[in-house]
């Protein structure tokens, strides 16, 4: 097969696929991928239970990439009709087992789903980021049309910028430290007010490799969500290196907003 | 070989490498990769000329990834000494042919190099981003220790936020459009002043897929650099989809700062 994608696809469709179809005697494999974020692979497997039995058809397997635990459902049956029907039934069973843990399917990223929810609900969002340095804003604006709901973002890497741009009191930073639920809460509230947004996400953490302390080791990240009726802040401990910690922090912030938009408590 | 990297490396070093060494009769291949950004692969090849001859040893080949055109130099000789010496000579020849176009080598990214220059020169930087939505700030803060030189960043996606947070006059936006050298210049100056930074980078563009016009099609991106003695702004036309346009824009902004820190004119 040629390496150029366009040529490869044309050749595959015209020359290869008919042979494959002949060989399978009309049998069909249909697949669907469902994505979760927040729980580990073993916790997801436990919730799925017998759905993951190896001899099951449709089969359900899990893969992990960037902290996202994905379910791959493969249905192999004699006809497309049956494969479609059985795939649907297994997908429904997976959704029943995992509920809101499933945020999307196939090519959907967290920012696509959260963005669609914001657009549907006519809500806007602002960001205030320390250790993630703009990653949450970058992810939100990955989505075409995100100008409808992304109001504004701040990257406040220094303590002074948290105070000057977001109005976080120097005393709060002094008393609790830049990586604290108090400071991210104030960052989120400052960003929400200044951007006149419905929601604001704020992150401050120790991304590493340096800067960790016994009380706040590398991977300690505080995330806050400010909304019209209050502010919630949480502290997480993410494993891995700087890139991992930043990536997981950004995804967890989007996940906090997603659960809030769902009106459901976060199950972790 | 096992799939777990740690096990694979141990097994390769202990069991595979001695066999390989025996087979080659002591011959050695040494490699180095040099990275450029800003010119296309054919323009780089033209500048390298005979260095890229297929029968040359050391050989010089090019690869492209994310707009970065990299030179791979492979030296294959009977002894490590000779390979080292000849690799060095070919590297020098490549550097003579390309000059400042080479920004780094092996695992270095633009943000590593620009960050090291800022740290060496004790300078600080701020960012003001529209279409890149935080990507430049994210890239700058990819680097451990970047808190030494990253002052602050703004993601000003809406026109109002450009005015309110960065002081860009509404009249300037009205007259020239949000994607204009005038507006990015004002964004950069506003960010530089407010962050009390030595430098500020600002980006505003049409990342697509929508929002293009005949005068400013998708891929039109204005980038400005504000420094102590003035502001420079440029307009670029980047090919590709939203992700490409955003990625190339961020890298070009870092490249503008890199050339300024070098004290050299940008050759494209």
Q: Which of A179, A176, A175 is nearest to A156 (CA)?
A: A179
d(CA B77, CA A14): 47
Per-residue pLDDT band at A110 (split at 50, 70, 90): very high
A229 neighbors A255 (Cβ within 8 angstroms): no
Give B41→chain A minimum CA distance, Å.
Answer: 18
- pLDDT of residue A151 exceeding 80: yes
- Measured N-to-C along each axis, helices A110-120 and A242-262 cross at an angle, to the nearest 10 degrees, of 30
Give A243→chain B minimum CA distance, Å.
Answer: 7
- pLDDT of residue A20 exceeding 90: no
Per-residue pLDDT band at A130 (split at 50, 70, 90): very high
End-to-end CA distance of chain A: give it in Å, rounded: 46
Strand order in the sheet with B230-237: A230-237, A220-227, A199-205, A125-129, A150-155, B150-155, B125-129, B199-205, B220-227, B230-237
Residue A234 host element (H or E): strand A230-237
Q: Do A145 and B210 lie within an 8 Å CB cutoff?
A: yes
**Paired tokens of A141:** 């604006």
B126 neighbors B257 (Cβ within 8 angstroms): no
- Residue A2 is predicted with a pLDDT of 81
- Asked whether the CA dihedral B156, B161, B166, B167 is positive or negative, the reply is positive
Residue by residue, DSSP assigns A173-207 as: HHHH-SSSHHHHHHHHHHHHHHHT-SEEEEEEE--
Strand-pairing partners, residue A185, are none
B55 neighbors B126 (Cβ within 8 angstroms): no
Kindly provide the b/e burial profile for residues B22-46, where b requires at least 16 CB atoms within 10 angstroms of the residue's own CB: eeeeeebebebebbbbbbeeeebbe
Q: Which residue of B has its CA nearest to A126?
A: B155
Q: Tell me, letter by letter, the H, E, C secondary structure of A124-151.
A: CEEEEECCCCCHHHHHHCCCCCHHHCEE
In 10 A of CB B211, how many CB atoms? 18
Going from the first residue of chain B to its last (268 residues), give the mean pLDDT of each consecutive group of 10, the final group possibly shorter.
84 89 83 97 97 96 96 95 97 98 97 98 98 98 96 94 96 97 98 97 96 95 98 97 97 98 95
**Paired tokens of B43:** 């323009």
Residue A58 host element (H or E): none
Q: Do B145 and A208 lie within an 8 Å CB cutoff?
A: no
d(CA A158, CA B11): 45
- Render pLDDT for A231-240 as a digit per residue (tens, 0 to 9): 999 999 999 9
d(CA A23, CA A30): 17
Cα of B24 vs its chain's centroid, Å? 37
A128–chain B Cβ distance below 8 A for any pair: no
- Residue B7 is predicted with a pLDDT of 86
* Chain A residues within 8 A of B191 when measuring between CB atoms: none
- Residue B125 is predicted with a pLDDT of 98
End-to-end CA distance of chain B: give it in Å, rounded: 46
A159–chain B Cβ distance below 8 A for any pair: no
Q: Is the ipTM of this complex over 0.85?
A: yes
- pLDDT of residue A26 exceeding 80: no
Overall average pLDDT of the A241-256 stretch: 97
Q: Which residue of A has its CA nearest to B246?
A: A142
Q: Do A155 and B141 lie within an 8 Å CB cutoff?
A: yes
Q: How many CA atoms lie within 13 A of A168 on its CB side?
A: 36
* Chain A residues within 8 A of B138 when measuring between CB atoms: 132-135, 138
B2–chain A Cβ distance below 8 A for any pair: no
- pLDDT of residue A33 exceeding 80: yes
B233 neighbors B184 (Cβ within 8 angstroms): yes
When the pLDDT of each residue in chain A is averaged and rounded to a whole number, the result is 95
B199 neighbors B253 (Cβ within 8 angstroms): no
Phi, then psi, of B127 in degrees rounded to 5: -130, 150
* Chain B contact probe: residue of A145, A153, A204, A209 with most B CBs at under 10 A: A153
Residue by residue, DSSP assigns B50-91 as: GGG-TT-SSEEEEEEETTEEEEEEEEEESSHHHHHHHHHHHH
Q: Do A144 and B243 lie within an 8 Å CB cutoff?
A: no
A34 neighbors A91 (Cβ within 8 angstroms): yes
In 10 A of CB B76, how many CB atoms? 17
- Residue A180 is predicted with a pLDDT of 98
A243–chain B Cβ distance below 8 A for any pair: yes
Q: Do B147 and A157 lie within an 8 Å CB cutoff?
A: yes
B259 neighbors B100 (Cβ within 8 angstroms): yes
Residue A15 is given by DSSP the state I
> Largest Cα–Cα distance of chain A, in whole Å?
74
| % of chain A residues with pLDDT over 70 | 100
**Paired tokens of B205:** 């563009």
- Residue A58 is predicted with a pLDDT of 97
């Amino acid at each position: 097969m040629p390496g150029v994608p366009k040529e490869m696809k044309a050749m595959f469709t015209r020359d290869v696929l008919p042979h494959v179809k002949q060989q399978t005697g009309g049998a069909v494999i249909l697949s669907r991928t469902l994505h979760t974020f927040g729980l580990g692979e073993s916790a997801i497997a436990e919730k799925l239970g017998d759905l993951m039995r190896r001899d099951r058809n449709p089969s359900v397997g899990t893969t992990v990439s960037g902290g996202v635990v994905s379910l791959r459902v493969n249905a192999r049956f004699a006809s497309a009709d049956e494969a479609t029907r059985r795939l649907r039934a297994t997908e429904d069973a997976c959704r029943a087992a995992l509920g809101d843990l499933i945020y999307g399917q196939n090519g959907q990223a967290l920012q696509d789903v959260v963005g669609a929810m914001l657009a549907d609900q006519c809500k806007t969002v602002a960001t205030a980021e320390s250790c993630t340095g703009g990653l949450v804003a970058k992810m939100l604006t990955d989505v075409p049309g995100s100008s409808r709901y992304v109001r504004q973002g701040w990257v406040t890497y220094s303590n002074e910028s948290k105070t000057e741009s977001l109005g976080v009191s120097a005393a709060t930073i002094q008393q609790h430290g830049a990586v604290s639920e108090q400071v991210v809460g104030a960052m989120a509230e400052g960003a929400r007010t200044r951007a006149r947004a419905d929601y604001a996400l704020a992150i401050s953490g120790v991304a590493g490799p340096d800067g960790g302390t016994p009380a706040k080791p590398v991977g300690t990240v505080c995330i806050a969500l400010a909304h019209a009726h209050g502010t919630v802040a949480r502290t997480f401990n993410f494993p891995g290196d700087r890139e991992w910690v930043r990536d997981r922090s950004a995804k967890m912030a989007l996940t906090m907003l997603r659960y809030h938009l769902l009106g459901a408590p976060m199950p972790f």
